[in-house]
Amino acid sequence: MSEKIPPEYKYCPYCATPLETRYIEGRERAYCPRCGFIHYRNPLPSVGIIAHRDGKFLLIKRGREPQKGVWAPPSGFIEEGEDPEETAIRELEEETGMKGEVEELLGVYRNNSKVYGDVLVITYLVKITGGSLRAGDDAEEAKLFRYEDLPPIPFRCFTESLKKARKILEGRNEQ
């Protein structure tokens, strides 16, 4: 049950001393006895885009694992030096050809991926403002769906975010 030193960190990345496993801050971690480097294993930061237009939500058919071939909202990893909201707009355009505007934060979720390990997913409600719908990077297909017609989506972070988005948009229509 103890965490092993990952192969990429058998030696300290700063001083090349062999790492040891020590109990630090409540967990076993890779530690350098010479310079004090601690290897913190953090989740990969990503975004999920709940994009909407005319009462419909935009989904892609995933072109890569995990869950290749299933429908899900556009999503992607935050690049170094990029804000999460910038990532959302970039990924929306890369995967669907659509342009958008972030309206609000829907939630922050943890997802354990067989492919990427621990992933932190920040989901945003995004209003589609233009573009030309097409399947782009990481997508086999892109399509708008009414909430009632959404296909099964295997990721809890997206199903919960879609429910929240629906409530928000319905609330706007009641005013």
Catalytic annotation present for 141: yes
| Alpha-carbon span 162 to 8, nearest angstrom | 37
- Name the pairing type of β-strands 56-62 and 139-146: antiparallel
Determine which one of 141, 148, 170, 174 is catalytic: 141
How far apart are the C-alpha atoms of 152 and 71, rounded to whole Å?
Answer: 7
- Amino acid (one-letter) located at 46: S
The residue to which tokens 């076993």 are assigned: 28
* Other CB atoms within 10 Å distance of the CB of residue 69: 11
- Catalytic residue numbers read 141
